[in-house]
Copies of this chain bind each other. A is one copy, B any other.
Amino acid sequence: MPFHQYFNGEIFPVDTALFKTNDLGLLRGYGLFDFFRTYNGVPFRWDDYWARFENSARLLKLSLPLTKEATSRILADLHALSGEQEVTFRFVLTGGYAPDSVHVVQPNFLIRTEPLPRDNPAGKLKGIKVLPYEYVRDLPEIKSTNYVHMILMADEMERQQASDLLFYKNGEVSELTRSNVFIISGNQLITADRNVLHGITRRVVMELAAPHMQVVERTLTLQELLDADEVFTTSSTKWVMPIVQVGDRQIGDGTAGKQTLFLQGLFEKYVESWGR
């Protein structure tokens, strides 16, 4: 599988060493990224992903070196080079090489193609366990490259057979390390409205759910979540993933919720027909 990557105007095999060591992403954590995939060979919700990437770049005051159209052509080239029906794309935009290790001169723009991540079909049916973790992301609206807590806690999650961390602060839930969180309470579908990254899967699920239940974005407390009928998380790799346990506490009867599985079904149909 000859996966390739675009870097500042050229295309290279994906394992080529490309970054000089005075990059602000590397030295100062000054970078942002995005991550999305194709369905039926067509980039999923590309307009939404590009808009979010543009917004993150604006908030970090980094100028995008390419237009949407030019980027779109690069995606097509990288996809063709992969020889695969489906790929994922990872965008990384850093502060670039800085002579003084402080000031941005010219951002570095990388687009990697990667194979589809390993799916978790058992988790989708049975649900997953997450650990509550007191933390709120810095600059949460930006898809920055700061994932220190996720990596720091990887061993502990494995030890406790948990799949992810559920971030909360002062009793208020925000998101998981790389995905959004929803609860279902009666006929309401509720998700946090602040301190979250606005996920594209989150948006699609709200669109799909709207004809069937009341969709509410508001402050969400940890206590409400623990007491909810159903809880699930959404991301481009997790789709609609039931959460059945938070630390030692079981959600509902500890099995994937019916309405969650219903929304999961709607999402699966949506992506199966994407681009057709």
| Residues in A lying within 8 Å of B, measured CB to CB | 5, 7, 14-31, 33, 60-61, 90, 92, 94-95, 100, 102-104, 110, 112, 117, 138-139, 144-148, 150-152, 154-155
| A110 close to B61 (CB less than 8 A) | no
Q: How many copies does the complex hold?
A: 2
Residues in B whose Cβ lies below 8 Å from that of A103: 151, 154
Q: Residues of B contacting A15 with CB < 8 Å?
A: 20
User: In the complex, what residues of B have CB within 8 A of residue A112's CB?
Assistant: 21-22
A146 to chain B, nearest CB (A): 4
Query: If the complex has contacts A102-B151, A154-B103, are A16 and B26 also in contact, measured as CB distance less than 8 A?
Result: no
A138 touches B145 (CB 8 A): no
A-B contact pairs, 28 of them (CB 8 A): A16-B20, A17-B19, A18-B21, A19-B26, A21-B92, A21-B112, A22-B112, A24-B151, A25-B26, A26-B31, A26-B92, A27-B90, A28-B145, A28-B146, A28-B150, A29-B144, A29-B148, A30-B147, A30-B151, A61-B152, A95-B151, A100-B117, A102-B154, A103-B151, A103-B154, A104-B151, A104-B154, A144-B148
Contact A148 B148 (CB under 8 A): no
Contacts of A31 in B (CB 8 A): 26, 29
Contacts of A21 in B (CB 8 A): 5, 7, 14, 16, 18-19, 92, 110, 112
Q: How far is the CB of A46 from chain B (nearest CB, A)?
A: 21
Q: For A139, give its contact among B25, B60, B100, B148 (CB under 8 Å).
A: B148
User: What residues on B are CB-neighbors of A19 within 8 Å?
Assistant: 17-21, 23, 26
Instruction: For A29, give its contact among B20, B146, B154 (CB under 8 Å).
Output: B146
B residues in contact with A18, CB < 8 Å = 17, 19-21
